[in-house]
Amino acid sequence: MQWQNKLPLIAILRGITPAEAHDHVAAVIEAGFEAVEIPLNSPEWRTSIPAMVKAFGDKALIGAGTVLKPELVDELAQMGCRLIVTPNIQPEVIRRAVGYGMSVCPGCATATEAFNAIDAGAQALKIFPSSAFGTDYIKALKAVLPPEIPVFAVGGVTPQNLAQWLQAGCIGAGLGGDLYRAGQPLSRTVEQAEAFVKAYREAVQ
């Protein structure tokens, strides 16, 4: 996915169930999100992900997170998944996903991991967990990374501090617990999705 002229925020719906998925995914897309990740440690993801691809694949990049093995990429490709997010650098996962034409955003912490991911074909990077490293760390890492590689902050990003991560050089962020926690009411998802979109637009205007 080319993030230019897009809303570079990824909704991470960890723990969502098939029964809840449609309403919550619809809510974040309605708020303006264009990328949604259902992590593979969510209940019955093999039901949720293909259903969301079918329902919303023409409106947003629907994908999977916490993808740890290449064979899972094969399975997700068959479901029509278009986004692969990982918490770590597993070069074969990245290569497999790129081979399917998917957008890949692997998680890294160090310059070595970042360049290993880029060498494997990653089109974007997520710095995880961002809150443990801070904005100064990201600024330093960005100084050595290719400028065309988008960097996302993931972990500890809130509507209140989103602008700080953007100022540090991140193009956007992956939003987990402050956007969605398993079992929360739909009204909370709507409220937080709108708050994140508003915070992003105010930060970049």
CA distance 113 to 116: 5
CA distance 26 to 73: 24
Question: Is residue 126 annotated as part of the catalytic site, yes or no?
Answer: yes
Q: Which of 20, 34, 71, 126 is catalytic?
A: 126
Alpha helices in the chain (DSSP H): 18-31, 45-56, 70-79, 91-99, 111-120, 130-133, 135-142, 162-167, 186-204
Q: Which of 6, 34, 37, 142 is catalytic?
A: 37
CA distance 178 to 159: 8
From the list 144, 108, 141, the residue with the least C-alpha distance to 127 is 108
The residues assigned a catalytic role are 37, 126
